[in-house]
A = this chain, B = another copy of it.
Amino acid sequence: MAFAIDRLIERIKELRSPVCVGLDPSTDLLPESLLRRYAADVPGAFLEFNKCIIDAVYGIVPVVKPQIAFYERYGIAGISAYLETVSYAKSRGLLVIGDIKRGDIGSTAAAYADAHLGEDGPDFVTINPYLGRDAVEPFINACQKNGKGLFVLVVTSNPGGADLQNLELQKGGRLYEHVGGLVSEWGKDLVGTKGYSSVCAVVGATAPAQAKKLRMSMPQTFFLIPGYGAQGGTAADAAVCFNKDGIGGIVNSSRGIIAAWKKPEYAEKYGKDAGCYADCARSEAIKMIEDLRGHIGGLND
Protein backbone atom coordinates (compact mmCIF):
# COMPACT_ATOMS: atom_id res chain seq x y z
CA MET A 1 0.00 0.00 0.00
CA ALA A 2 1.48 3.38 -1.03
CA PHE A 3 2.32 5.92 1.65
CA ALA A 4 -0.21 8.72 2.15
CA ILE A 5 2.60 11.20 2.65
CA ASP A 6 4.08 10.34 -0.76
CA ARG A 7 0.76 11.11 -2.46
CA LEU A 8 0.59 14.45 -0.63
CA ILE A 9 4.16 15.51 -1.39
CA GLU A 10 3.82 14.54 -5.06
CA ARG A 11 0.73 16.68 -5.44
CA ILE A 12 2.36 19.64 -3.60
CA LYS A 13 5.27 19.46 -6.05
CA GLU A 14 3.02 19.21 -9.12
CA LEU A 15 1.03 22.27 -8.07
CA ARG A 16 3.90 24.08 -6.30
CA SER A 17 1.27 24.72 -3.67
CA PRO A 18 1.74 23.81 0.01
CA VAL A 19 -1.77 25.01 0.87
CA CYS A 20 -4.62 23.24 2.64
CA VAL A 21 -8.10 24.74 2.56
CA GLY A 22 -9.98 24.26 5.85
CA LEU A 23 -13.63 23.46 5.20
CA ASP A 24 -15.04 24.76 8.50
CA PRO A 25 -18.48 26.09 7.60
CA SER A 26 -20.70 27.97 10.02
CA THR A 27 -23.83 30.00 9.38
CA ASP A 28 -21.99 33.31 9.78
CA LEU A 29 -19.50 32.37 7.04
CA LEU A 30 -22.12 31.44 4.41
CA PRO A 31 -23.91 34.02 2.23
CA GLU A 32 -27.44 34.68 3.46
CA SER A 33 -28.91 33.91 0.05
CA LEU A 34 -27.50 30.38 0.19
CA LEU A 35 -28.79 29.82 3.73
CA ARG A 36 -32.22 31.15 2.77
CA ARG A 37 -32.42 28.78 -0.17
CA TYR A 38 -31.83 25.82 2.17
CA ALA A 39 -34.12 27.23 4.92
CA ALA A 40 -33.84 24.92 7.92
CA ASP A 41 -31.41 22.52 6.20
CA VAL A 42 -28.13 24.09 7.31
CA PRO A 43 -26.06 20.94 6.60
CA GLY A 44 -27.49 20.92 3.07
CA ALA A 45 -26.25 24.49 2.63
CA PHE A 46 -22.83 23.49 4.05
CA LEU A 47 -22.52 20.70 1.51
CA GLU A 48 -23.37 22.95 -1.44
CA PHE A 49 -20.98 25.61 -0.11
CA ASN A 50 -18.19 23.04 0.26
CA LYS A 51 -18.77 21.58 -3.21
CA CYS A 52 -18.53 25.02 -4.81
CA ILE A 53 -15.34 25.81 -2.85
CA ILE A 54 -13.89 22.42 -3.83
CA ASP A 55 -14.75 23.00 -7.52
CA ALA A 56 -12.99 26.37 -7.31
CA VAL A 57 -9.75 25.16 -5.70
CA TYR A 58 -9.14 21.53 -6.65
CA GLY A 59 -6.80 22.46 -9.47
CA ILE A 60 -4.62 24.76 -7.36
CA VAL A 61 -4.36 23.14 -3.90
CA PRO A 62 -3.51 19.54 -3.07
CA VAL A 63 -5.62 19.01 0.02
CA VAL A 64 -8.66 20.14 2.03
CA LYS A 65 -9.34 19.74 5.75
CA PRO A 66 -12.92 19.55 6.98
CA GLN A 67 -13.13 20.11 10.75
CA ILE A 68 -15.69 17.57 11.95
CA ALA A 69 -16.88 19.66 14.94
CA PHE A 70 -18.64 22.11 12.62
CA TYR A 71 -20.65 19.19 11.21
CA GLU A 72 -21.21 17.28 14.49
CA ARG A 73 -22.89 20.46 15.74
CA TYR A 74 -25.79 19.62 13.37
CA GLY A 75 -26.22 16.00 14.48
CA ILE A 76 -26.82 13.18 12.04
CA ALA A 77 -27.54 15.47 9.07
CA GLY A 78 -24.35 17.39 9.81
CA ILE A 79 -22.23 14.25 9.93
CA SER A 80 -23.74 13.13 6.62
CA ALA A 81 -22.63 16.47 5.13
CA TYR A 82 -19.12 15.84 6.52
CA LEU A 83 -18.96 12.37 4.96
CA GLU A 84 -20.30 13.63 1.63
CA THR A 85 -17.77 16.48 1.68
CA VAL A 86 -14.95 13.95 2.15
CA SER A 87 -16.25 11.84 -0.76
CA TYR A 88 -16.77 14.80 -3.05
CA ALA A 89 -13.28 16.17 -2.39
CA LYS A 90 -11.75 12.76 -3.11
CA SER A 91 -13.80 12.45 -6.31
CA ARG A 92 -12.17 15.71 -7.47
CA GLY A 93 -8.69 14.28 -6.88
CA LEU A 94 -8.07 16.23 -3.68
CA LEU A 95 -6.43 14.62 -0.68
CA VAL A 96 -8.41 15.02 2.55
CA ILE A 97 -7.34 15.55 6.15
CA GLY A 98 -10.20 14.71 8.54
CA ASP A 99 -9.67 17.13 11.42
CA ILE A 100 -11.08 14.95 14.20
CA LYS A 101 -8.43 15.26 16.97
CA ARG A 102 -9.54 11.98 18.52
CA GLY A 103 -7.49 10.19 21.18
CA ASP A 104 -8.39 7.36 23.55
CA ILE A 105 -7.09 4.13 25.09
CA GLY A 106 -6.26 1.12 22.90
CA SER A 107 -9.58 -0.62 22.18
CA THR A 108 -11.38 2.71 21.84
CA ALA A 109 -8.68 4.15 19.59
CA ALA A 110 -9.12 1.07 17.39
CA ALA A 111 -12.82 1.90 17.07
CA TYR A 112 -11.99 5.51 16.10
CA ALA A 113 -9.43 4.27 13.56
CA ASP A 114 -12.10 1.99 12.06
CA ALA A 115 -14.53 4.89 11.98
CA HIS A 116 -12.23 7.42 10.33
CA LEU A 117 -9.42 5.67 8.45
CA GLY A 118 -11.37 3.16 6.38
CA GLU A 119 -11.03 2.98 2.59
CA ASP A 120 -13.76 5.59 1.98
CA GLY A 121 -12.47 7.90 4.71
CA PRO A 122 -10.00 10.78 4.60
CA ASP A 123 -6.34 10.21 3.62
CA PHE A 124 -5.19 11.61 6.96
CA VAL A 125 -6.74 12.35 10.35
CA THR A 126 -5.54 14.54 13.21
CA ILE A 127 -5.10 12.92 16.63
CA ASN A 128 -4.29 14.01 20.20
CA PRO A 129 -1.17 12.62 21.96
CA TYR A 130 -2.18 13.10 25.65
CA LEU A 131 -2.89 9.36 26.16
CA GLY A 132 0.48 8.21 24.83
CA ARG A 133 1.71 5.37 22.67
CA ASP A 134 -0.99 2.69 23.00
CA ALA A 135 -3.61 5.33 22.13
CA VAL A 136 -1.78 6.05 18.86
CA GLU A 137 -0.86 2.51 17.81
CA PRO A 138 -4.29 1.49 16.46
CA PHE A 139 -4.21 4.57 14.21
CA ILE A 140 -0.70 3.66 13.02
CA ASN A 141 -1.86 0.11 12.26
CA ALA A 142 -4.75 1.49 10.20
CA CYS A 143 -2.30 3.74 8.32
CA GLN A 144 -0.10 0.77 7.47
CA LYS A 145 -3.04 -1.35 6.37
CA ASN A 146 -4.92 1.28 4.37
CA GLY A 147 -2.17 3.61 3.11
CA LYS A 148 -3.32 6.48 5.33
CA GLY A 149 -1.55 9.06 7.49
CA LEU A 150 -1.82 10.97 10.77
CA PHE A 151 -1.17 14.47 12.02
CA VAL A 152 -0.45 14.32 15.75
CA LEU A 153 -0.89 17.54 17.76
CA VAL A 154 2.49 18.89 18.88
CA VAL A 155 2.19 22.70 18.99
CA THR A 156 -1.31 24.12 18.49
CA SER A 157 -2.07 27.59 17.16
CA ASN A 158 -4.25 28.82 20.07
CA PRO A 159 -3.05 30.95 23.03
CA GLY A 160 -3.99 28.27 25.61
CA GLY A 161 -1.77 25.75 23.84
CA ALA A 162 1.10 27.01 25.98
CA ASP A 163 -0.69 25.93 29.21
CA LEU A 164 0.66 22.41 28.71
CA GLN A 165 2.78 22.38 25.56
CA ASN A 166 5.33 24.97 26.72
CA LEU A 167 5.99 23.48 30.16
CA GLU A 168 9.69 23.01 30.89
CA LEU A 169 10.63 19.43 31.71
CA GLN A 170 13.00 18.40 34.43
CA LYS A 171 15.13 16.38 31.97
CA GLY A 172 15.46 19.50 29.78
CA GLY A 173 13.39 20.82 26.88
CA ARG A 174 9.70 21.55 26.84
CA LEU A 175 6.67 19.28 26.62
CA TYR A 176 6.11 20.00 22.92
CA GLU A 177 9.70 18.92 22.17
CA HIS A 178 9.14 15.67 24.06
CA VAL A 179 5.92 15.08 22.11
CA GLY A 180 7.80 15.88 18.89
CA GLY A 181 10.32 13.18 19.80
CA LEU A 182 7.53 10.67 20.42
CA VAL A 183 5.92 11.51 17.07
CA SER A 184 9.25 10.94 15.23
CA GLU A 185 9.64 7.64 17.02
CA TRP A 186 6.04 6.54 16.33
CA GLY A 187 6.50 7.31 12.63
CA LYS A 188 9.80 5.58 11.96
CA ASP A 189 8.23 2.54 10.23
CA LEU A 190 6.11 4.69 7.91
CA VAL A 191 8.79 6.70 6.12
CA GLY A 192 7.91 6.83 2.42
CA THR A 193 9.99 7.17 -0.74
CA LYS A 194 10.41 10.94 -0.31
CA GLY A 195 12.04 10.76 3.12
CA TYR A 196 9.01 11.79 5.20
CA SER A 197 6.83 9.64 7.44
CA SER A 198 3.05 9.26 7.12
CA VAL A 199 2.97 9.98 10.88
CA CYS A 200 3.09 13.78 10.71
CA ALA A 201 2.82 16.62 13.24
CA VAL A 202 0.59 19.64 13.79
CA VAL A 203 2.83 22.68 14.38
CA GLY A 204 1.10 26.06 14.55
CA ALA A 205 2.29 28.98 12.40
CA THR A 206 1.69 31.20 15.42
CA ALA A 207 4.73 29.61 17.12
CA PRO A 208 7.64 30.12 14.69
CA ALA A 209 10.35 29.77 17.35
CA GLN A 210 9.05 26.35 18.41
CA ALA A 211 8.46 25.36 14.78
CA LYS A 212 12.07 26.15 13.89
CA LYS A 213 13.40 23.95 16.69
CA LEU A 214 11.08 21.11 15.71
CA ARG A 215 12.05 21.36 12.02
CA MET A 216 15.67 20.71 13.11
CA SER A 217 14.89 17.85 15.51
CA MET A 218 12.29 16.07 13.35
CA PRO A 219 13.83 15.87 9.87
CA GLN A 220 11.56 13.03 8.70
CA THR A 221 8.33 14.55 10.01
CA PHE A 222 5.99 16.49 7.77
CA PHE A 223 4.06 19.39 9.40
CA LEU A 224 0.47 20.59 9.16
CA ILE A 225 0.68 24.31 9.91
CA PRO A 226 -2.53 25.94 11.12
CA GLY A 227 -2.87 29.56 12.20
CA TYR A 228 -2.03 31.34 8.91
CA GLY A 229 -4.11 34.45 8.20
CA ALA A 230 -7.14 34.84 10.46
CA GLN A 231 -5.21 33.51 13.48
CA GLY A 232 -2.22 35.82 12.92
CA GLY A 233 0.46 33.53 11.42
CA THR A 234 2.35 34.87 8.37
CA ALA A 235 4.08 33.22 5.41
CA ALA A 236 7.44 34.06 7.00
CA ASP A 237 6.34 32.31 10.22
CA ALA A 238 5.22 29.24 8.27
CA ALA A 239 8.37 29.19 6.11
CA VAL A 240 10.54 27.98 9.01
CA CYS A 241 8.71 24.63 8.78
CA PHE A 242 10.06 23.96 5.28
CA ASN A 243 13.32 22.48 4.06
CA LYS A 244 15.48 23.92 1.30
CA ASP A 245 13.68 21.86 -1.34
CA GLY A 246 10.41 23.65 -0.51
CA ILE A 247 8.96 20.54 1.12
CA GLY A 248 8.21 19.84 4.77
CA GLY A 249 4.77 21.17 5.51
CA ILE A 250 1.34 22.21 4.37
CA VAL A 251 -0.14 25.52 5.53
CA ASN A 252 -3.84 25.59 6.37
CA SER A 253 -6.23 28.48 6.04
CA SER A 254 -9.94 28.11 6.78
CA ARG A 255 -11.93 31.33 7.30
CA GLY A 256 -9.32 33.33 5.37
CA ILE A 257 -10.20 31.39 2.20
CA ILE A 258 -13.76 30.11 2.56
CA ALA A 259 -15.09 33.40 3.94
CA ALA A 260 -12.99 35.63 1.66
CA TRP A 261 -16.24 36.91 0.11
CA LYS A 262 -16.84 38.89 3.33
CA LYS A 263 -13.61 40.90 2.98
CA PRO A 264 -14.22 44.56 2.06
CA GLU A 265 -12.36 44.35 -1.27
CA TYR A 266 -14.61 41.55 -2.54
CA ALA A 267 -17.81 42.82 -0.93
CA GLU A 268 -17.26 46.08 -2.79
CA LYS A 269 -16.56 44.39 -6.10
CA TYR A 270 -19.37 41.82 -6.03
CA GLY A 271 -21.98 43.28 -3.64
CA LYS A 272 -22.53 42.14 -0.06
CA ASP A 273 -24.37 38.90 -0.71
CA ALA A 274 -23.35 37.81 -4.19
CA GLY A 275 -23.03 34.17 -5.20
CA CYS A 276 -19.35 34.74 -5.91
CA TYR A 277 -17.99 33.16 -2.71
CA ALA A 278 -16.23 30.38 -4.60
CA ASP A 279 -14.47 32.85 -6.93
CA CYS A 280 -13.39 34.88 -3.91
CA ALA A 281 -12.07 31.71 -2.24
CA ARG A 282 -10.09 30.86 -5.35
CA SER A 283 -8.62 34.37 -5.54
CA GLU A 284 -7.58 34.23 -1.87
CA ALA A 285 -6.09 30.75 -2.29
CA ILE A 286 -4.02 32.03 -5.22
CA LYS A 287 -2.85 35.00 -3.13
CA MET A 288 -1.87 32.65 -0.32
CA ILE A 289 0.00 30.29 -2.67
CA GLU A 290 1.94 33.26 -4.09
CA ASP A 291 2.64 34.60 -0.60
CA LEU A 292 4.08 31.22 0.42
CA ARG A 293 6.05 30.80 -2.82
CA GLY A 294 7.62 34.16 -2.05
CA HIS A 295 8.86 32.88 1.31
CA ILE A 296 9.65 29.23 0.56
CA GLY A 297 12.49 29.19 -1.94
CA GLY A 298 12.46 25.60 -3.14
CA LEU A 299 8.92 25.79 -4.49
CA ASN A 300 10.04 27.93 -7.42
CA ASP A 301 12.60 25.49 -8.83
Contact = CB atoms under 8 A, between A and B. Distances in A.
Interface in A115-152: 115-116, 128-136
Interface residues of A, number: 57
Contact of A132 (B112, B133, B165): B165
B160 A132 contact: yes
Contact of A69 (B67, B72, B108, B167): B108
A202 to B, nearest CB: 10
A15 interface: no
Copies in the complex: 2
Contacts of A162: 132
B132 A130 contact: no
A76 B76 contact: yes
Interface string A87-110: 000000000000001111111110
A163 B102 CA distance: 17
Contact of A169 (B76, B129, B167): B167
Contacts of A129: 130, 163-164
A128 B108 contact: no
A196 to B, nearest CB: 23
A131 B156 contact: yes
Nearest to A178: B167
A121 to B, nearest CB: 10
Given A69-B108, A170-B168, A134 B160 contact: yes
A136 to B, nearest CB: 8
Contacts of A234: none
A45 to B, nearest CB: 16
Contacts of A156: 105, 130-132, 135
A194 B80 CA distance: 42
Given A130-B130, A167-B178, A72 B161 contact: no
Contact of A175 (B76, B107, B108, B164): B164
A273 interface: no
Given A106-B158, A133-B160, 11 more contacts: A69-B108, A72-B112, A72-B115, A76-B79, A101-B103, A101-B128, A130-B130, A131-B158, A132-B158, A132-B163, A164-B178
The 10 nearest A-B residue pairs measured at CB: A132-B160, A132-B163, A168-B170, A134-B160, A69-B111, A105-B158, A133-B160, A72-B115, A73-B115, A130-B130
Interface of A: 24, 26, 67, 69-70, 72-76, 78-80, 83, 101-109, 111-112, 114-116, 128-136, 153, 156-165, 167-171, 175, 178-179, 182
